[in-house]
Structure 1
Amino acid sequence: MKQKIDYANDLENNYKRLIEKAEKLYARREDIVIEADKYKTKQLTKECDLWISRVTNGEEDVRELTTKYENEQSKKAKWRRHSKRAKLSKSMVEKCEELHSLWLEGKFERGIMVEKLPERVRTLHAAKIEDKPSLYKVVEEILGLLKDRDVKRIGLWGSGGIGKTTIMRNLNNHEDIAKMFDIVIWVTISKDRSEEKLQRAITDRLKMNMEGITNPDEIAWRISKELECKKYLLLLDEVWNILDLPKLGIQDNQQGFQGEKVGQNVNLPSIEPIAKLVVRECAGFPLLIDKVASTFKQKKDNSFLWNYGLTSLRRWDSFKVQGMDELIEFLKFCYEGLDSEDKKFCFLYGALYPEDCEIHRDYLIECWRAEGFICDANKFSDAHGEGHKILQFRDARDEGHKMLLDLINVSLLEESEKMNHVRMNKVLRNMALKISSKSKTFKVLVKTREGLQEPPNAVEWQQVNRISLIDNKLCSLPDLPDCNNVSTLFLQRNRDLKVIPDTFFGCMQNLRVLDLHGTGIESLPSSVSLLKCLRALYLNSCISLMELHYLEELELEVLDIRGTGINHLPIQIGGLLQLKCLRMSLSNFGRGQSRDVKIHPNVFLNLYLLEELRIDVDPNNREWEALVEAIIEEVATLKCLTSLSICFPKVDCLKSFISKSPLWKDFRFTFQFSVGYHDSISYGILDCFEYQRCFKFANGEGVNPVISEVLAETDAFGLIGHKGASRLSDFGIENINRMRVCLIEGCDEIETIVQGNSVDRSALEWLEKMCISNAQKLESIWEGPVHAGSLTRLTSLTLQRCPKLKKIFSNGMIEQLFKLEHLSVEECPEIEEIITNSENTGLEPEALPKLRTLVLSGLLKVESICTDDSLKWPTLERITISRCQLLTRLPLNKENAPYLRCIEGDQLWWTALEWKEDAIKGRFESFFKSN
């Protein structure tokens, strides 16, 4: 009876305990569910699923007990119901014990998650092709082949950009594929992707546990075992080289197809070098290689026949291959698919340049515009309020860049490794020349790099529309060639050409583009004045040209006279009223016989249509200073200016310009401003990136508000030899936040870049690349707190010759650098550790997730990169170490840095390195390269 009374009296307390236990249990369940939702590739274990089900059932019991309690509490005369209260209270005690046991079981020491089984198909983003019959037809054809049991491999060949990847992605997503295969594996292969990376991609897709397994043969065996009972489809995108699939673990009973076309003779010592040249001539086109290889197979091991075949192939037209015409027709498919005649002409125009020539984008677009290939009636506008309608040069350049991109997207032109340049594949160039030879409106005479000493004959001049004689040894030209149909004449880099006959241009009334740059001419002939249609004239690098004559009556839009022998401001420029783009240099001004720089007033005031102006100077010759100040006064008033590249000798000169120019802050205005004198090689980093607004400030002092105002509009900034500022942030955080590239060179008073204590917001939000060199007092990059959002876009950091620099990543700055790809620290003798513990406490293993290259050189005190090997280095590919004698350990272990493939350093340094285990050294031994 006493026990029942106790239960009855403790009803309220037991109810509170029940609710507390239940809430605690539900919280653990909620935590598990939230954790499970984080991982889309994982699922709860069956044990955990069962536990959640039991918690849910217990929740029903708790609700039932709660309802009974609430009913009991609402009734009066409780002393009459001791029995019911005692029974309810006892049930609560028992349920509390049950809930507590469930809570303890919910700790799951072995984890709550397991990997989901791989889905059959991972849907990929793919452009719709239902309205593109040519691509849709290929997908349907491949589907038909996949249903054929005898077909094991399918090759999809074609030039870049014609839609191979789009076809593959649509095939991957096709509803029939999921029905046909147990699993579909997609792997994108880059040029430099190793077999280990390919194996990893396959094992990741199959969700295979490969922890601790690094032997490629073992991985291949496991892959083959995993797949042997599956019907699978392996889709390989961007295959550049022959793949040894069995070596990766992809087994089948097919024989390899290496050497099928040309036989084993290709490996003979006398044949192999020729075979490589043959492949090179094919310019990477698999279809062309296939056709050519079939022909060369007949030559067997006869090196004479191989050599003859190579010579014939280089002549192209004399090389007869079965199917070659069909190949050309295939390539012409991309050309015929262009949506306008102008765009086709733009492609054919690229063949005027020498084979493998890198062509500057803006120059090519200027030629296209001058020829009339770029024209959009919707973009005509009134330029100066007088009703004179013109096509804005900036709009035409934008239109040209779009056309250029269209040609690149269909692989008719290629991106060049050289910044802001394009090139034409030699096979496509040959095709363009062949198309031009059959055209009535685009006939060309192209003789480039042939060593010509004599000009073409009279008939050749007469029969064509465009002539290219680039890079020859011409010494003379005909007196009066009959070529009224010629619209472009390229004579550039004929350095032996010193004189052009006075009547040479007498029958070229339709000439629109004339390029004479790099020739040895000393003057222009008087017949130049007859070129009424001439729109673009290039005389740059004509170092012997001293005067500009006979141009006043022309309607030139583009004139380039950089690097000529002209040592004064030609007054003739002021007569070119239609000029829209002018590039000139003042490097020779004041030199030679004329010691005084002549200033002709109002030369630039007359150029009211001028949109783009570039004036180069020689920093070692100050004779141009007074002249450029006068030029700037006039240029500041131009109403159509959209781009200006110029050097201001003093800050006051810059101040005068920005106060008078109505346009320079317009969002479409681009500039390359320099202030002060400096050695041009010091700011090379700023010229290595294509940014619209570049500002170089050299040998200045203090913080001038004019500099800050321009800096606020700048993408790439170079501060060179500056005095009177200890921090970059002294120029104002709001003024440096737009910067994407920053170079600090020889600034002896700079102590840090940003002082975080003096700002209350993020800084350098858009900075992508920073290079600090010869900063004698630099002690850190960042002082004080690093606000969230600062430096989050930084991809490259270079520190050179900073003798007082002791710390690189301060105050948790490293946590913001999740896009940093390249870190280089050189000649900084006070640095002892790259990542210091005191500045980066609690650093996560995922820090620096994008770092690919690490360069350390001349760090005499550095003892470690970081104190332990806890960082994962998930993308690190290359480490270069030199003259770091105290660096005896690398932060590497058996599992981290999975993509590290090169460790470059001194052999003695490598031999002296200390390792936790021999197995770690063994893992990286093959990657070491002595420097």
Structure 2
Amino acid sequence: MEKLGSILEMLGPIVELGKMIWAPISEYYNYHKNAGELMKNLKRKRQELECGRSDIESRIGAELIPGKRRKKEVELWLLNVETINGEIETIEQEAGRVKYSNAHMGKIACKKIQKVEELMNQRGGFVDSLVVDPPISRGDVLPITTIVGESTAKRTLEKIWEHVLGEDFRKIGVYGMEGIGKTTVMKEINNRLLKETDKFDNVIWVTVSKASNVFKLQNDIARNLDLYLSKYEDVTLRAGKLNIALENRKRYVLILDDMWEAFCLEDVGIPEPTPTNGCKLVLTTRSVEVCNKMSCGNIKIELLSEEESWNLFLETLGRDVLNTPDLEATMKEVVKECACLPLAIITIVGSLKNVVHASEWRNALEDLRTSIKGSNNIVTTVFERLQFSYKRLKDEKLQHCLLYCALYPEDFKIDRDELIEHLIDEGVIERMKSRQAEFDKGHIMLNKLENACLLEGGSRLEDESR
């Protein structure tokens, strides 16, 4: 008996070892034996999942009215379905051209079936609505420079503010020549409205620009509302969707910056602002005719006074220059040539920051006068003064860099690294010993353009310098 007990005791581990060995062998055999059936089953399960996805997308299409978005869990489910479908497609393709063992294919198919079944079970949990109201932002705070002209600009700003809050005008047109500071003033209004939470529910800022049309304007406004119109091509249908989304925002101020031509509000999908809906429309433009065609109450942005122009010049350049003898008279002549335009003053000062000696200032003044033809055309007036700053760069590579930036759409936030990549590819930045050296060169060039006030911080080209 003792011998038998000893034998059984010895056999115990052997039996356990046999079980351990047999389990994977049995599993391998089952995968091998049932591989074909498992692949067929996987195909059926995938078809069921596709039907489920189609049903979910149909429900979303019915529920996704303007102003709503899909639930995050639904988006994740659809993403997982797309992923598993891609994996199954790959398996089916590889099964046809790669010599896998039946056991290997059977094992993979079994695991994918389990994942598909999990997704089907999750779909069963979508009993409520598949969409929700997104958290609505009241608007975006915009970066602004200091309002120049303590009397003229501030007085105009307060007048616009009174019109926005008042009941006399539902549509307000802010007009003035290029480079006078319309956008800067309206950015201040935008930010002030966001602080006054009891006045309006939403503040929507849209840069329109010269290249705009009804279709593009619809896209620009929709983007600010988290509304996606890309699947709609018919302008009238798009206008209807946009109209509903705007009405859902209740009391809003819609700011259309840099309008070059008038638009019919109905064609775009903008509800007519009325005392009943409590909405306001504010547009900025170079042309008073655009304001009149849009039936606006008009406010003109006036030029800076000579005193304000001189103060802006000193604030931008630095008042220390007054400590240098014999410069003030020449500098005042330079300011005079800037035609009381804030943009012209800022950009010209940027090109003269390194000028120290009186002779250099006199020479710069003569160059500036030579570049100005005395045109009465508004656009030409600004362009001639910007061209002076462009020529003062005196570096062909820097000039090419600035011109390349001008190819981007207006108000486009240019990624520095991406821009430098393009400048390298275009040969504006020459090939160097290392990629890091090339990027360093690119950053130096962009910094110089920013210091010259020809690029905004963050590598965004100054609006009016286009």
Q: TM-score, normalised by structure 2?
A: 0.41
Greater Cα radius of gyration, structure 1 or 2: 1
Higher relative contact order (CA 8 A, sep 6+): 2
User: Higher helix proportion, which one?
Assistant: 2
Q: TM-score, normalised by structure 1?
A: 0.23
